[in-house]
Structure 1
Amino acid sequence: MTNEVVKAYLTVTDAIAQDASPEAAYQAVDKAVKGLIGHGLFTILVRCEGGEEVERVYSSQPDAYPVQGRKRMGPTPWGDLVLTRKQTFLGRDKEAIRWAFPDHELIESLGLGCVINVSVQEGGEILGTLNVLDKEGAYTSEEQVALVRSFTPLLISALTKARK
């Protein structure tokens, strides 16, 4: 693990130690991920009761993607992959964005063309997802996915609070 990654983790854990609010955790993970791999949009979704819908609890671009926006993603191919089968999703290009998201036109209008989606889990239960998007071609490797995924345990407490 590089010093840069260790510093990013410590920044997040220090932020959470100082402020137990979900927002502090969301902002710290956003900043850490942006510093390590960059992003044009960073969102966190909480899985709503029943599992069919997800609700946005954090957005780095609240004008385009406001907090509390809901999407029915459970019965979609993306929902099956990420929410049911608990797999990560690396969408390397705009075609993948179109496959995954009904709001792909808005995503593309923001200059975004690739995505990493990882679930936040506790005891096998999916609490929500961490989602990073950037210009097409920015995310190409499973190492980038693993790096994003490695921050998910730091969001368990925040998402547990957000679901109440």
Structure 2
Amino acid sequence: MPTANASTLTSLIANLLDTLADTRSAEDALLEVDLRRRQIAGESVFSIQQNVTTGRDPADEIRLRRLYSSVADDYPVNGAKRKTLTPWTECLFLQGRVFVAEGSGALARHFDDFDQMRPYGLQSVINVPLLQGNLCYATFNVFGTRPRWRQHEVLGIRLLALAAARWVPAAPGLAYRFTGVPLTHSMEA
């Protein structure tokens, strides 16, 4: 499938937003987002990870659970993992910033499960934090087979993440790991 170029990105995103306005289920919405992801990023792997960290988890850990996966056979929905504080977690969870890494060496440095990714030929990633206030309640993740992203692809993935955010619930009991304030309190402030 040929990927969208910079000039077609606007119509692709506008079409998605129109489609999502009539979509009633999260499953259907995320399938639509996934279709556009393939049009923007081409050969890639896509997932959404919910932050399911609670006040009972160790202070230096973030617990994640997969809400959506484009390759569910190898990365199943509801699969869970723990992450410690690293430049990756600090970028997404402390700073609320998009993380872009390019080149298989960069992936190997930032992802302890890179050996599991290797068979897919993945060489680059765009991770977008889904935020409520300062709380990263989920991450929108696209791993590409090309060594470098084009500027319009990064923008397109970021826009897809924003469009998907309304369909991604915050986990019950989610605690803002670094202040101990539960999500419900941070939203009332």
Instruction: Return the TM-score normalized by structure 1.
Output: 0.85
| Aligned twin of 2:27 | 23
2:149 alignment partner AA = T
Structure 1 residues 49 and 21: CA distance shift in structure 2, 3 A: farther
| Aligned twin of 2:122 | 112
In structure 2, stretches of 5+ residues that fail to align are 1-5, 55-60, 173-189
1:159 is displaced (CA, Å) by: 1.1
Distance 2:40 2:152 in 1: 12
| Aligned twin of 1:9 | 13
1:57 alignment partner AA = L
Structure 1 residues 145 and 3: CA distance shift in structure 2, 3 A: closer
The alignment partner of 2:168 has SS state of: helix
1:11 is displaced (CA, Å) by: 3.4
- Contact 1:93–1:114 (Cα < 8 Å) also in 2: yes
- Contact 1:59–1:65 (Cα < 8 Å) also in 2: yes
| Aligned twin of 2:36 | 32
Q: 1:61-95 CA deviation, whole Å, 9 max, x = no partner? A: 11111111112125233111211111211111111
Give 1 or 2 for the bigger CA radius of gyration: 2
| Aligned twin of 2:165 | 156
Q: Which runs of 4+ in 1 moved over 6 A?
A: none
Distance 1:141 1:74 in 2: 30
In structure 1, stretches of 5+ residues that fail to align are none
Distance 2:31 2:37 in 1: 10
Distance 1:47 1:11 in 2: 29
Distance 1:92 1:23 in 2: 30
- Contact 2:40–2:157 (Cα < 8 Å) also in 1: no
2:76 alignment partner AA = P
* The one of 149, 156, 161 aligned to 1:140: 149
Superposed CA RMSD: 2.3
The alignment partner of 2:125 has SS state of: strand
| Aligned twin of 2:98 | 88
Distance 2:67 2:35 in 1: 16
Higher helix share: 1
The alignment partner of 2:75 has SS state of: coil
| Aligned twin of 1:130 | 140
* The one of 45, 49, 71 aligned to 1:61: 71
Instruction: Return the TM-score normalized by structure 2.
Output: 0.75
- Contact 2:130–2:165 (Cα < 8 Å) also in 1: yes
Aligned residues between the structures: 162
